[in-house]
Amino acid sequence: MTMDLQAIADDIVKTLEPRLGEGKVADYIPELARVDPKQFGIAITTVEGQTFRAGDADVPFSIQSISKVFMLTLALGKAGEAIWKRVGREPSGSSFNSIVQLEHEHGIPRNPFINAGAIVVSDMVLAGHAPREAIGEYLRFMRYLADDETLTIDEKVAQSEQRTGYRNFALANFMHGFGNLDHPVEHVLGVYFHQCALALSCVQLSHAGLFLANRGTNPLTGFSVVSPKRARRINALMLMCGHYDGSGDFAYQVGLPGKSGVGGGILAVAPGKASIAVWSPGLNKVGNSALGSAALEMLASRTGWSVFGA
């Protein structure tokens, strides 16, 4: 069955137009508070290598926590399954920056997609590097995945997070106290804030995530990124933990692995079919893009794409 994905994308943009500006931008990061909330973009890149775009699909935005998927991929490449000694694989059910659970579980974060878990993953990627080198490795990896040399990190956003990231400093110091960070806290957080400040458009993000839809290989370049087994496992984690304490609801409504970020972006993966990126800055009460979540729900219902059966 051939679907007109361009018509579906255009229709989603048209349907959501009256709702532009819904939700609340992430104003606790000053640079993100400045973003115009009345924007929405969608890009769908199929495993055959075609990209369909609509709305503000070429406007770069701060990917924030979506970066955690790519850093996890890097850390798995470096340390393999040993990383699971230092971070769990269970949904948290708590806010993405909660410290309560961390104390109870002796400094081992519940999963790699909450802030504490992602900070541990950044610590692993930092092994054997100066912070600048680790950030450079990540940026090269993202350019390789998206097949786009123009990708850059927004220094203003990184600095803005560095100045205001008190809770992340608290989480990192806490884990350091439990012996679960190997490097100085300021080095690890320097890497973490920079990875989150990477700016991508929906089109670029849909290209970068395509390896997860295609058994670990990017069909645009033919490059093998991870094994099929590892791609499946990363998708499983995204399905269970990719939307903070809204993960269960997202799985129920959309039925696809996904990862959101407080910049308003969401990367979703339809295994064997496509990589989808949506972006709208206004967030719902659990910190996920309000219109982005609605768009993916519409897309899943119109395409029949779901990991739980057609």
Annotated catalytic residue: which of 35, 62, 68, 121? Answer: 68
Question: Cα–Cα distance between 44 and 9 in angstroms, integer?
Answer: 8
CB atoms within 10 A of CB 221: 16
Tally of residues, the chain: 310
Helix axes 185-196, 67-79, angle to 10 degrees: 130
Question: Cα–Cα distance between 22 and 180 in angstroms, integer?
Answer: 39
| 252 in active site | no
- Pick from 245, 277, 244: nearest CA to 118: 244
- Positive or negative: CA dihedral 127, 130, 135, 137: negative
Annotated catalytic residue: which of 65, 122, 201, 293? Answer: 65
Annotated catalytic residue: which of 13, 69, 191, 262? Answer: 262
| 262 in active site | yes
Question: Cα–Cα distance between 221 and 229 in angstroms, integer?
Answer: 20
Annotated catalytic residue: which of 120, 121, 192, 259? Answer: 192
| 144 in active site | no
Question: Cα–Cα distance between 109 and 96 in angstroms, integer?
Answer: 11
- What residues contact 24, with CB distance under 8 A and at least 6 apart? 282, 283
Burial 235-262 (b: 16+ CB within 10 A, else e): bebbbbbbbbbbbeebbeebbbbbbbbb
| 244 in active site | yes
Q: Residue 307, CB half-sphere, CA atoms under 13 Å: how many?
A: 20
- What residues contact 249, with CB distance under 8 A and at least 6 apart? 243
Annotated catalytic residue: which of 191, 203, 244, 273? Answer: 244
Residue given tokens 């370049």 in the structure block? 221
| 229 in active site | no
Catalytic residues: 65, 68, 192, 244, 262
